[in-house]
Structure 1
Amino acid sequence: MRAVAATDRDKLEKAPTKHRKIGAYRVLGELGRGGMAQVYKGLHETIQREVAIKELLPDAQKDKESLSRFHREALALAAFRHQNIVTLYDLVEKNDSLFMVMEYVDGPTLQDLIKDGYLPPDVAAVVGARIASALDHAHFRHIIHRDLKPGNVMLTKTGEVKLMDFGIAKDVDLVALTQQGMAVGTPAYMSPEQVTGVQLDPRTDIFSLGVLLYEALTGTRPFQGRTAGEIFAKIRDGKYTPLAKAAPHVPAPLANVVKRALEVSPEKRFPDAAAMRRELDLFLAHVVKVSHPALLMGFLHQRQKLTETEALAHLTHAELGVLKENAAEQRYRMPTGKLKWVAAVVLLSLATATGVYLTQDKWAPVVEKKVADQPAPASPPAPTRSPGKK
């Protein structure tokens, strides 16, 4: 986040953070700040609910567009009732300042997790499916997010995925805040429609979700350049390293979902977020044998974002043991060595033809073991008995 302006900092320092009261909420501390807003952790003292309080900074309140965006984000969040979208509790006005009181999400952002290394395919697919579900809910209410990126997605310590920051969301039923033809969003995650300034529809968010998944699976963004102009040109022309080449460990069905989401032409993408979610859920039905929240909690524990005590508040010792064992076997890393690569390609080809997939946390280690060990032929089946005979 950018450093807050000096005038804003002076005004904030006049009221000690931990002694501030905003409506029924007591401020506990600072969570972060940007060029437009400051976010605190707060507590509703009556019902003992932890919250996040977002304050529009003084200079931003003087800017009509910033003020409109803040109100628009509040209106968008107020309309949503979805487990994968952060909940708005209240909009408070105090001493000429505006505050959004929202659900407090305790956990890392997807951006934080990617910095530590790319995500395993099953984890990335779960995150993608949950975001697609959230987008489907928003699109049904005629809201386009327009700024989907890893920094706006969080994973909770209970294995949930939360989509946040609808600050530049567009209500297709309202007049746009920005001038026609002006690009709005984060350059590397924009759709071709955004960078060329044409009319947007919900499929712009599908493209951005494809960019997000590509980065989650590889650790790098598909569209890169020294300037925003270079990035825009690559997005417009669809020039990026195919996922199959950038991350050969990703199963073909999942790679195909990402490829379709990244189509330059909106007509070639998924028709809506629900269709993309269904494809991701179909992939997950083949590869994930535990609950999705448990899988995410196991991943967070492996990445040291979740303590064992926190995990055992929701999982049994047996469940956590299985997740630890799976993590220890493959350590969420790309397989290395020619033998693994050749065997993996063969198995993925068979999987594509038959529709049967190994779970991500076992497919690489199992490949190596089966090729190396060559198990003995199974013994002939026992003779069958006639009905009624013992």
Structure 2
Amino acid sequence: MKIAQFEFDPEQDKLGEGPLSEVFRATDTNLDRVVALKILRAHAEIDPSADQRFHREAVHSSKIEHRNIARVYEYGQYEGTYFIAMEFLKGRTLDKILKDQRLGFEECLRIAQQVTRALREVHEAGLIHRDLKPANLMVLDDGTVKLLDFGIARASNESSITQHGMLVGTVLYMSPEQVRGDELEMRSDIFSMGAVLYHITTGKLPFPGKSFPEVCMAILDGKPEPPSIARAGFPREFEDFIQKCLHTDPQERYADAREAHGALLQVSASLLGTTHRQVNVRGTLLVMPVECHASEEGLENCRVIASGMRKDLATELGRLKDLEVVLLDKAQLPEDGYDWSLSIGLRVAPPEAQLEMRLVRYSSVNGSAQKHEEWTEQLTHSDPNEWALQADLVRNAARELRRHLSESSLKPIGKTRDQEASIQLAQHAHDVLSKGTSKHLMAAISSFRRAIEADPYCAIAYAGLAEATVRKYLYWDGDQTYLEQAREFAARALALKTDCAEAHTSLGFAFHLSGHSTDAQREYRIAIEYDEKEWLAHRLLGALVAREG
């Protein structure tokens, strides 16, 4: 069968269907690529608003270019049939995943971070999704989460196609205001997101019911079972986040997805050692608009990457404790009032991209404003996938900036530092730790703590303390608390020195013993990347890979 330039087999290529549309795996014969082709059902004409909603889905989806949102390539009509050609995705939607398995808390956190990131883009585009549910969230084979289906999304200032008081969305994840048929704002999406996160973390619906009216009454009643009761061992911080999203009063929820995403990063800080590394950097950083350099045909693509990269980079840097990160357009840029400014240049010539960064610090000398170029860096990366390219650029840029900002700002306040003594104590502790007995372990821990007392900014002391704490877990009763402490010590080391190979090894070791193989392998490989002589990382990685075949 062929619709416009899209070829597919109606029987073999069907991917899914809904009340008003069907989705097929199709080939775009013009561009020789596989797409997901969404077709409005012929009988949908009985709903006079169906074609308007279908068109609106295409318009709204095409406004947003982000790696966590399914891309729309084309919208059209062919011989009376409306269609949308979209990015073809290999993965499974969350509703199908939930039928087969129970997700771990860390996996749920990673999914949640991507959902809030996608929803942040939706809200910043002035849109309300209005139908967040597991079936509209796809997890790709590489772990990337994609937000789907803008069929009932609308602009925050757009009049509704449905009649006032008509329910839109999927009732199991609706906000109270949706159930009442009220006008919606972005906080409604926050509620729906909370309902989805409740479901994926507990395996239960927050508002169960045997009938449509029962579910609606449960939502309006607003008293879901606390996640910690629904599932034992539920992290308190994650529970607080979800319950705030599910507050009956919209004003008590997060205002939008940007605020929710920031709060979720704080949750990750305490649960995932590498997700949020706090550094005491005081001041305000202005991230300038990205200067794009590309060929005429590639300029628009460069701008898309630059826009997403700038926002994600600002989010990453915003994790630095006490550092305020500001994004302004050129027309809004003031003359002063900032401690640092970051200029970024991006050159894209697929599959390669080059990032140039320049950090300027502002100060006042004898009442006169001064500018000092503190740091410049050039990063080059190659990847045929533009979204992977953007992600790698952000990760590498954030790592280098965190390192510089932390090193320039980590100055003792009211406390003297004896760096030489600290290093000597840490080295002695490592020697003692290598002897391998429980007696020597306790002596090493004592020496690492004394090293930190001598210099609270000694990264290798925190890294050593992390390794020693993991060994404490091995030597004694296997208390998981020791692994949590080890991850915290490793995170502190990495906040002080992001390229500390020993800290990455210790963090990987803690993940390893917690059963998180993927995270462990990642940290071991990072450690080896920073120091190819990091023998423990080599040994542990080899053992882990051999065990898993």
Partner of 1:204: 188
What displacement does 1:227 show?
1.4
Q: 2:213 aligns with which of 204, 221, 229?
A: 229
Q: Secondary structure at the match of 1:38?
A: strand
After TM superposition, the score normalised by the length of structure 2 is: 0.50
Partner of 1:126: 110
Q: Distance in 2 between matches of 1:122 and 1:155?
A: 15
Partner of 1:173: 157
Partner of 1:152: 136
After TM superposition, the score normalised by the length of structure 1 is: 0.69
| C-alpha contact 2:136 2:148 (8 A) present in aligned 1 | yes
What whole-Å deviation, never above 9, does each CA across 1:240-261 have from its counterpart, x for those lacking one?
1101111122211111111111
| C-alpha contact 2:74 2:85 (8 A) present in aligned 1 | yes
Structure 2 unaligned regions, length at least 5 = 277-387, 389-476, 493-506, 517-549
What displacement does 1:286 show?
4.4
The aligned length equals 297
Structure 1 unaligned regions, length at least 5 = 1-19, 293-313, 315-338, 367-390
Amino acid at match of 1:23: A
What displacement does 1:62 show?
4.3
| C-alpha contact 2:265 2:275 (8 A) present in aligned 1 | no
What whole-Å deviation, never above 9, does each CA across 1:64-103 have from its counterpart, x for those lacking one?
1111111110111111111111100001211100010000
Q: Distance in 2 between matches of 1:118 and 1:48?
A: 38
| In the alignment, structure 1 residue 107 sits paired with structure 2 residue 91 | yes
What whole-Å deviation, never above 9, does each CA across 1:256-300 have from its counterpart, x for those lacking one?
1111111111111112111111222233344446799xxxxxxxx
| C-alpha contact 2:269 2:275 (8 A) present in aligned 1 | no
Q: Distance in 2 between matches of 1:289 and 1:253?
A: 14
Q: Distance in 1 between matches of 2:515 and 2:243?
A: 26
Q: Secondary structure at the match of 2:49?
A: helix
Q: Distance in 1 between matches of 2:262 and 2:83?
A: 37
What whole-Å deviation, never above 9, does each CA across 1:124-150 have from its counterpart, x for those lacking one?
111111111111111122211111000
Q: 1:75 aligns with which of 29, 37, 59?
A: 59
Partner of 1:5: none
| C-alpha contact 2:22 2:41 (8 A) present in aligned 1 | yes
What displacement does 1:348 show?
8.9
Amino acid at match of 2:95: Q
What displacement does 1:188 show?
1.0
What whole-Å deviation, never above 9, does each CA across 1:185-221 have from its counterpart, x for those lacking one?
1111000111122221000000000000010011110
Taking only aligned residues, the RMSD between alpha carbons, in angstroms, comes to: 3.1
Q: Distance in 2 between matches of 1:202 and 1:220?
A: 25
| In the alignment, structure 1 residue 96 sits paired with structure 2 residue 80 | yes
Partner of 1:192: 176
Q: Distance in 2 between matches of 1:94 and 1:63?
A: 20
Structure with larger RCO (C-alpha < 8 A, sep 6+): 1
Q: Distance in 2 between matches of 1:110 and 1:191?
A: 20
| Structure 1 residues 87 and 365, CA gap change in structure 2 (3 angstroms) | closer
Q: Distance in 2 between matches of 1:106 and 1:250?
A: 31
Kindly name which structure, 1 or 2, has the bigger radius of gyration based on alpha carbons.
2
Partner of 2:531: none
Q: Distance in 2 between matches of 1:237 and 1:345?
A: 37
Partner of 1:27: 8
Amino acid at match of 2:110: V
Amino acid at match of 2:4: G
Q: Distance in 2 between matches of 1:157 and 1:290?
A: 22
Q: Distance in 1 between matches of 2:257 and 2:480?
A: 30
| In the alignment, structure 1 residue 136 sits paired with structure 2 residue 117 | no
| C-alpha contact 2:167 2:178 (8 A) present in aligned 1 | yes
| Structure 1 residues 148 and 266, CA gap change in structure 2 (3 angstroms) | same
| C-alpha contact 1:252 1:348 (8 A) present in aligned 2 | no
| C-alpha contact 1:129 1:280 (8 A) present in aligned 2 | yes
Q: Secondary structure at the match of 1:64?
A: coil
